[in-house]
Amino acid sequence: MIDSHCHLDHEPLFSNLDDILKRSKNAGIKKLLTICTTLKSFEKIKQLIKRDDMIFGTYGIHPHEAKNDKVTSQLIINEINNNKRIIGIGETGLDFYYNHSDKIDQLKSFEEHIKAAIKLNIPLIIHSRNADEDMLNILNNFKNFNLKILMHCFTGSKNFAIKLLDLNAYFSASGIITFKNSIDLQETFKFIPLEKTLIETDSPYLAPVPNRGKKNEPSFVRFTAEKLASIKNITTEHLIKSTTANFNTLFS
């Protein structure tokens, strides 16, 4: 298995990393992708990727932080070129549910991340909430550049997924699909092709059932895998093999 999106720099994961890694390995996880959200976050990620060969990282600014942490495409490119185990750009995107950063700052930041992803030809890890129209408008502006897109913790509609599939996007399922009230999302993931699907924890957030309410960790990704396999009416082993192959294809 691969946890395609976790935040090992966040507590309580960072202070308990040895135990977290041990449980991850015991659960059958081969790779962890720890996701950058701020400039400060990246300093910890540079430490984390040296701790164990299973850990890889990204560089990016979360849309909530776009007001405070300004980056250019060239800065992103430089940081990634200087750190070989940084294999993706993000978590970037748009979030208009909260007002932590205004729309203009988010749009500018997102475009800088996109330009860097095009230049480096590596995946763009996208956070999208209450921003479907703007998200599609921006991505369509870059449609001819063969962007490698990963929609992290996807909770969008089937219609949104269809439009993103036209852009060759991948979709990552989180523990949310195990929640009782996620029927529509489960139906959307049933529709999304298996070859375009990954799994993640977003830990330490969004712990899946039966651990909902607890602090999430990468080893819990198996519960998401089991639920997604059930949704798609395939074995868990088939689901794990496919999502692992998809991750390795996307991140080369």
Report CA dihedral (19, 235, 128, 147) to the nearest 10 degrees: 100
Q: What is the pTM of this model?
A: 0.96
- Name the band, by pLDDT with cuts 50, 70 and 90, for residue 117: very high
How many Å apart are CA 115 and CA 194, to the nearest integer? 28
Please write the tens of the pLDDT for every residue from 123-139.
Answer: 999 999 999 999 999 99
First to last CA, the chain: 16
The predicted pLDDT at position 25 comes to 98
Task: With CA atoms as reference, report the closest residue to 173 among 162, 237, 63, 156.
Answer: 156
The predicted pLDDT at position 98 comes to 83
The predicted pLDDT at position 101 comes to 85
The predicted pLDDT at position 48 comes to 98
The predicted pLDDT at position 145 comes to 95
Range of weakest confidence among 95-104, 130-139, 192-201, 222-231 = 95-104
The mean pLDDT of 216-235, rounded to a whole number, is 98
The mean pLDDT of 93-121, rounded to a whole number, is 94
Domain of residue 138, CATH code: 3.20.20.140
Please write the tens of the pLDDT for every residue from 51-65.
Answer: 999 999 999 999 999
State yes or no: pLDDT of 99 exceeds 80.
no
DSSP output for 125-140: EEEEES-HHHHHHHHH
Polymer length in residues for the chain: 252
How many Å apart are CA 227 and CA 247, to the nearest integer? 19
Angle (nearest 5°) at CA 218 between 212 and 222: 70
State yes or no: pLDDT of 115 exceeds 80.
yes
The mean pLDDT of 148-167, rounded to a whole number, is 98
Domain with 205 in it = 2-250
The predicted pLDDT at position 81 comes to 96
Instruction: Look at the chain and report how many structural domains it folds into.
Output: 1
